[in-house]
A and B are shown apart, each in its own frame.
Chain A
Amino acid sequence: MSEKGHAQSNIRLGMVIDLDKCTGCGACSTACQAENNISYRPDESQKLRSITWMNIYQLDNKKAYPDFKIAFLPRPCMHCDADHHSPCTFVCPVNATTRDENNGLVTHIYPRCIGCRYCMVACPYHARSFNWWDPTWPKQMESMLSPEVSPRMRGVVEKCTFCHHRYNKARAKASVDGTDPNKAIYTPACADACPTKAITFGNLLDEKSEVAKLSKDPRAFRILEKLKTKPKVYYLSKQDWIRNLADNSLT
């Protein structure tokens, strides 16, 4: 047992996003949308009801030209590794959202979700979206939906899964190939699509992995560290003004 009170595992899937490389092109968000059958409506002007698993924030340093600077911050679910429970998992009254202690993925069982939205309230990153309407796509797009990801019904919460269907596929392939499924590696759709390779994904506990090395980079930081949510998404930037925006500070 770990000191967190859960079975010890040597897999902690996580992500590192290099903000100095991110151009804010939105490819990660678009790829995520397509990969995970995220529905959308003809009118998406109500941004607080728009379902986006990978939201891209535009940050600026609040200075006037010529010192004005901007950066883009893609925000998937942080798959928080907080001790005992993630902020969203332990509040769910029906165990619809749980953290898989074998790999650290925070998952959501849609057919079990009662849509109370308590998990959304508990998440400080606003990584969760509610299905305010029945899911719809333009007619011609329906044949392009991925058969590997179930669409979500009206009245339930959904969020980034780190493309865990790809993980399951990678594990299944490893089993067939006769290799260790626990060493299976995969890449989520967002990392696949990033043209500047700003997103790195892998096992944070595998010291030889790129993601583990980057997470220990001096430029690495996480959002809202002070809340002890222990996100498994790290960001990289050498710009202090971006790093300062990662957490609240009295100064």
Chain B
Amino acid sequence: MDRILIPDGVKRCSFPIFSLWILVLLGVIGWGVAAGAAVLIKAMNLTGLNDWFGFGAYITADLAIIALGAGAFFSGFLYYGLSKFFPALKELGKIINLAVVVGFVCYTGALAVLLLEIGQPLRGWFGYWHANVHSMLTEVIFCITCYAIVLVIEYVPLILENRKVSESKPLSLLGHSMHDVMAIFALTGTFLSFFHQGSLGGVAGVCFARPYAFREGLFIWPWTFFLFILSAISSGPAFTALICKAMETVTRKKLVDRTVYELIGKIEGGLLSFYIILKIADTANWAFNMSPRFGLKLTDYYWGPYGIWLLVAEVGICGVLPALILISPKGRKSSFLLFGAFLLDIIGVSLNRFVMTIPAIAQPVMPFDQWKIYIPSIYEVAPVLAMLAYCMLIISLSYRYMPLFPRETELNR
């Protein structure tokens, strides 16, 4: 039924099966949109947030999804920016289209959820009009907007490559012209996204009256600014690779060469090792140098469900362990270890965003206050799940109707 839209030489599942999958996704999206609309109309009292937990599931999901979407800008940077100097990186061209789609859905999805996060969504534009240059959130607002625009520009040529769309000469010409200048956008996006990731880290790190989150740093930027960038680039491409592997499993096709995964594993291994060393140094400085100055010790930051297991899981199991696997050639050769390490890596970065958002504010700062526990309501869970379903929807549509993987035809002959 939709055969004329499917790229030449590739096989896709039948239209009814695809429609059924899309319907499931649309169902989840509809549920999330309804929950989101209820929050907008009836107010944020529907959420599990309160005066203790100003930030909750929306922010955690946004931070995590934006970090994982970093595969787009960083892969773009490696492919468009560095592959001229390091030809081995040209291999990333085989997965770059998927990276762009993943980045696009992650950022646009995060933007949609962000709208629910503010109590006065109609005043969202005040962020541009009354911008406070001292606020990290201002940096976030400007960077996320600009980068989302860049991602749209990067995504458009992919749409224009569709078999049917490219029959139109002007559109085909536009697509090719945009491809020619894509390196400029990729590098612009890299700059914006580096700043964006950093400012998200800064949001927590600059809170100097919140010892759990506060970090000293360089000039106006706390160390979390740099650690967020590093953790994003050391997990984003792994996320793209894991999505690609999941697509291969579901479609039972080979979409990229094995060498692409191993190259990403090698890059991520190096970056993750570098990040985790700095993260351990940062944690040690925070626990044994900064905290005593505030009259606190490491154990004061962990309690009940927000126990020390968070630190062990984030830094040890989901940090050191995948780093060791990924820097080892043997580890990268084993599919189980390679993709297991990718999975741990993305769990680790998500855990980091959770820790810097929820436990960081669950901790009482005044000695006579008590720890509190945050439980998100269904009105927070549904939009977050809808965001994930939206990501899957766009990726599914892109895979079906656009030539995402240049080597797909060859690999499946």
Binding site for B on A (CB under 8 A): 46, 48-50, 57, 59, 73, 80, 82, 85, 87, 90-96, 112-118, 120-126, 128-134, 153-157, 223-224, 226-229, 245-250
B132 and A95 form a contact (CB under 8 A)? yes
B299-317 residues with Cβ-Cβ distance < 8 A to A are 300
Task: Provide the residues of chain A in CB contact with B120, threshold 8 Å.
Answer: 113-115, 153, 155-156
Task: Provide the residues of chain B in CB contact with A227, threshold 8 Å.
Answer: 208-209, 211, 294, 365
Known A-B contacts A95-B130, A156-B120; A120 and B207 likewise in contact (beta carbons under 8 Å): no
A51 to B208 Cα, complex, angstroms: 25
A91 to B208 Cα, complex, angstroms: 11
Chain A binding surface SS class: loop
Binding site for A on B (CB under 8 A): 43-45, 49-55, 117-120, 123-124, 126-127, 129-132, 134-138, 140-141, 203, 206-211, 292-297, 300, 361, 365-369, 372
B206 and A91 form a contact (CB under 8 A)? yes
A73 and B368 form a contact (CB under 8 A)? yes
B54 and A130 form a contact (CB under 8 A)? yes
Can you name 9 A-B pairs with beta carbons within 8 Å? Answer: A49-B45, A57-B368, A96-B126, A121-B54, A125-B366, A126-B366, A153-B120, A156-B119, A248-B294
A157 to B51 Cα, complex, angstroms: 9
> Pick the contact of B135 from A48, A87, A93, A153 — CB < 8 Å?
A93
A249 to B294 Cα, complex, angstroms: 8
B54 and A117 form a contact (CB under 8 A)? yes
B209 and A223 form a contact (CB under 8 A)? no
A114 and B124 form a contact (CB under 8 A)? yes
A93 and B295 form a contact (CB under 8 A)? no
Task: Provide the residues of chain B in CB contact with A245, threshold 8 Å.
Answer: 367-368
Minimal Cβ-Cβ distance residue in B for A122: B207
A18 → B minimal CB distance (Å): 18
Task: Provide the residues of chain B in CB contact with A85, threshold 8 Å.
Answer: 134
B209 and A224 form a contact (CB under 8 A)? yes
A250 to B43 Cα, complex, angstroms: 42
> Pick the contact of A90 from B43, B131, B132, B368 — CB < 8 Å?
B132
A85 to B133 Cα, complex, angstroms: 13
B38 → A minimal CB distance (Å): 14
Known A-B contacts A93-B135, A95-B130, A112-B126; A155 and B297 likewise in contact (beta carbons under 8 Å): no
A227 to B119 Cα, complex, angstroms: 29
A121 and B361 form a contact (CB under 8 A)? yes
Minimal Cβ-Cβ distance residue in A for B124: A114
A121 to B129 Cα, complex, angstroms: 23
> Pick the contact of A120 from B51, B130, B132, B372 — CB < 8 Å?
B51
Known A-B contacts A118-B203, A124-B365, A245-B368; A94 and B132 likewise in contact (beta carbons under 8 Å): yes
B269 → A minimal CB distance (Å): 35
Minimal Cβ-Cβ distance residue in A for B129: A94
A87 and B209 form a contact (CB under 8 A)? yes
A117 to B119 Cα, complex, angstroms: 8
A156 to B211 Cα, complex, angstroms: 26
A122 to B210 Cα, complex, angstroms: 7
A134 to B109 Cα, complex, angstroms: 29
A197 to B215 Cα, complex, angstroms: 41
B205 → A minimal CB distance (Å): 11
Task: Provide the residues of chain B in CB contact with A130, threshold 8 Å.
Answer: 44, 49-51, 54, 119
> Pick the contact of A118 from B126, B137, B297 — CB < 8 Å?
B137
A24 → B minimal CB distance (Å): 14
Task: Provide the residues of chain B in CB contact with A116, threshold 8 Å.
Answer: 117-119, 137
A96 to B135 Cα, complex, angstroms: 12
B45 and A250 form a contact (CB under 8 A)? no
> Pick the contact of A114 from B49, B127, B134 — CB < 8 Å?
B127
A129 to B45 Cα, complex, angstroms: 13
